[in-house]
Amino acid sequence: MEMIRLPALRRVAICGGAHGNEMTGIYLVPELERQQKEKGDAAWSVPLTTVLSNPHAIKACSRYIDKDLNRCFTSPILSSPISEDTPYEVQRAQELNSLLGPKGSEDAVDIIIDLHNTTANMGLSIISYEWSNSVCFQIFKHLQDKITNVPVRLVLINVPPVEAFSLESVAKCGVSLEVGPQPQGVVRADIFNIMKQGVDAVLDWTETFNSGKIIEGGEVEVYLIQKSMDYPRDPKTGKPTAAIHPQLQDQDFCLLQRGDPVFLTSSGETLSYEEEEPLHPLSINEAAYYEKGIAFHLASKKTLSFPSIQAKTD
């Protein structure tokens, strides 16, 4: 099997609260800080930066104040001039880019693990733009090996050559951990434990990598987002006229076939899946996506292989 050698990891960042109503990261980051204080430098083998990304939104227990922070990490927004009318999240994105980046530079942190929740029944999903980043695939495989009490899936956003706009894209390797189902503004201990296991597993992997051990490559199954489906809407008011069908609710990552029920209208009519190609729905009925015009994403499934990896220790 092919093997690549990469520099040892120098800095890892764990970020919570990019969305101020996704509570797991908001609870986990202070816990990691407590552990770091207690154990000192010996807590983790790689220097760890912890961040609560959107303090104003966290205080308001709202996804954002002026603008979705997790859509602000593009070059034009990161380099835009700041005035008193600048949305809060644009200012905050620039601060975070100074702290963790600059994006695309040698100085950027090696890994950002960005912690999110979903109201959809998605187990632990790793969401990434990293199509060819062997570190990302290695981390995913490690999470899948370590965490067995909940499904662990890798979702690749199928948008290159569009520039990645989310916080984790500031790092050399960005990984977003999305755990659900959890309502907005709510902390569930079972979801917290899954996220904690996920973070521990990533840190565990960085330790093994930095020790210089060869970590075997392999194959992973990935979900590639192909398109997003909106709710049927009233053409006049723009309001949704149907909800996710009960047979589809909570069935994230199932395979939808033509004719399967997808929506149930207020008047009781079932609307079916009309795509020719069977695809896997995810982020089904995500609360944050109502305003974005997304009822669920549709993904295809593919197996990708990735090389063995070893840190350069010389």
Annotated binding site for Zn(2+): 19, 22, 116
Name the nearest CA neighbour of 269 among 228, 296, 230, 232.
232
Q: Which of 84, 178, 274, 277 is catalytic?
A: 178
Q: Is 283 in the site for Zn ion (CB under 5 A)?
A: no
Following DSSP, what letter does each residue of 205-216 receive, concatenated? HHHHHHTT--B-
Range 237-256, binding Zn ion (CB under 5 A)? none
Site map 98..117 versus Zn ion, x via CB under 5 A: ------------------x-
Q: Hey, how many other C-beta atoms are within 10 angstroms of the C-beta on 25? A: 27
CB of residue 68 to Zn ion, shortest distance in Å: 9
Binding pattern for the stretch 15-34 against Zn ion, x by CB under 5 A and - elsewhere: ----x--x------------
Indicate the residue among 22 and 252 with the shorter CB distance to Zn ion.
22
Alpha-carbon distances of 202 from 129, 243, 270, rounded to whole Å: 17, 37, 43
Q: Which stretch binds Zn ion (CB under 5 A): 2-10, 12-20, 227-235, 250-258?
A: 12-20
Torsion of CA 225, 228, 229, 231, to 10 degrees: 130
Q: Bridge partners of 219?
A: 305
- CA separation for the pair 92, 64 (Å, rounded): 11
In whole angstroms, the minimum distance from the beta carbon of 108 to Zn ion comes to 21
Amino acid at 34: R
Cis upstream peptide for 181 (omega within 30°)? yes
DSSP reduced 3-state for 256: strand
Residue number with the shortest CB distance to Zn ion? Answer: 116
Q: Which is nearer to Zn ion, 122 or 264 (CB)?
A: 122
Q: Which of 19, 92 has the CB closer to Zn ion?
A: 19
Minimum distance from residue 221 beta carbon to Zn ion (Å): 24
178 is annotated as an active-site residue = yes
- By beta-carbon proximity to Zn ion, the closer residue of 22 and 260 is 22
At closest approach, how far in Å is the CB of 30 from Zn ion?
18
Distance CA 230, CA 14 (A): 32
| Angstrom distance (rounded) from CA 314 to CA 304 | 30
Among residues 49, 59, 50, 54, the alpha carbon closest in space to that of 29 is found at: 50
Amino acid at 228: S
Q: Which of residues 114-153 bind Zn ion (CB under 5 A)?
A: 116
Provide, rounded to whole angstroms, the least separation between the CB of residue 148 and Zn ion.
Answer: 25
Cβ proximity to Zn ion: between 97 and 118 the closer is 118
Find the part of the chain contacting Zn ion (CB under 5 A) among 14-22, 134-142, 155-163, 253-261.
Answer: 14-22
Binding-site residues from annotation: 19, 22, 116
User: Under rule CB under 5 A, how many of the chain's residues touch Zn ion?
Assistant: 3
Residue reference for tokens 């995500």? 286
With tokens 């009490």, the residue in question is 149
Q: Which residues bind Zn ion (CB under 5 A)?
A: 19, 22, 116
Return the active site residues.
Answer: 178
